[in-house]
Amino acid sequence: MKNFIKRLFGQNNPAALPETAESVIEPTVLTPTPSGESIFTGEVNAIVVSDLGNVRQNNEDTGLFVRLADEGVRRTKGYLLLVADGMGGHLAGEVASQMAAELVNREYFQHNENIEKSLSRAFQIANRQIFEEARLHDTFRGMGTTCTAIVVHEQQLYFAHVGDSRAYLFKAGQLIQITQDHTYIQELLRKGDISPEAAASHPERNVLTQAMGTKASVQIDLGRCILPFDNGDRLMLCSDGLYEYCLEADFVRILQQQSLHDAATELVNLAKSRGGHDNITIVLAERIMADENPLPKETREIDVPFTRDIELPQ
């Protein structure tokens, strides 16, 4: 599988890199490690943790945090956080999620468009290449992946999203879900055809209505969170292997009380203690500015961010 990824992005496939490849200078890419490696950038502190869970033999999740070394490009493009949860037989799910992460990372930073256009382009290209790889190779037939990405640019949060991985903002003691699941059950909830209580235990609650790479075109959610990413706020991106086993109250308590490293570790262990039947991946980030005062911890009312849909061309 690693040779497959190398073929896509390494020296054996020079056409894979566009002409603007030299504009991307020495990115710092934080990917999952067994101990949960963390990075402090002076603006955003981040950690990525991924766990097999209690049942799976392969980890089909991918998580990453990307910081460019070039300060000028970083000021324009910000920081990238991403979680992808692959699906498919054999190693296909693992390949799909890694392709999504590699392609979105590469394509987002290699073009001088604004953030939303860059995210849109990156998701379009990733979807098409995963779909084509699955079409051309029987081993990967039917593979696909979720993909949820957040770009932190100064105090703004931009998102692109396909599937049922999630992005949350933890702000002033409240947990706000930025993304909406692309699932059959979410459609029923939106129409009022099912109660939240019934949805939580519905046998088809994990059936996706959109996934990256399963079709030539895909509907994505793309936009900007209306809430600023202020000093002391936290971001959490995770696969369904985490939120299926943790309550909102668990997230709030742990994010409120623990450091990023301890919060990530405790949440993964909590999901495993309650079943852990899926891979578990979490990307946590916190905005820390030395010249700002942290937000107070009291709870206050805040608006929920919007989501809008766009249809990707074939």
**Contacts for 45 with CB less than 8 Å, ≥ 6 apart:** 38, 39, 260, 285, 286, 288
- pLDDT value of residue 169: 99
**Cα-only R_g, the chain:** 18
**Structure pTM?**
0.82
Instruction: For the chain, list the strands marked E by DSSP.
Output: 27-30, 38-40, 44-51, 61-68, 79-87, 144-145, 147-153, 156-162, 166-171, 174-177, 219-224, 234-238, 280-287, 309-311
- pLDDT value of residue 314: 40
Own/partner pairs, 302-306, CB within 8 angstroms, 24+ separation: 302/171, 302/172, 302/174, 302/176, 302/227, 303/226, 303/227, 304/176, 305/169, 305/176, 305/178, 305/223, 305/225, 305/226, 305/227, 306/223, 306/226
Element counts in the chain: helices (H) and strands (E): 9, 14
- Sketch the domain layout of the chain as residue ranges: 2-298
Tokens of 76: 């324009």
Q: Does domain 2-298 fall into CATH 3.60.40.10?
A: yes
- Look up residue 230 and give its DSSP letter: -
- pLDDT value of residue 291: 55
- pLDDT tens across the length of the chain (314 residues): 433 443 443 333 323 323 222 233 344 565 554 445 666 566 899 999 999 999 999 999 999 999 988 888 889 999 999 999 999 877 899 999 999 999 999 999 998 899 999 999 999 999 999 999 999 999 999 999 999 999 999 999 999 999 999 999 999 999 999 999 999 888 888 888 788 878 777 877 778 999 999 999 999 999 999 999 999 999 999 999 999 999 999 999 999 999 999 999 999 999 999 999 999 999 999 998 755 444 443 433 334 333 333 343 34
C-alpha dihedral sign at 93, 96, 102, 105:
negative
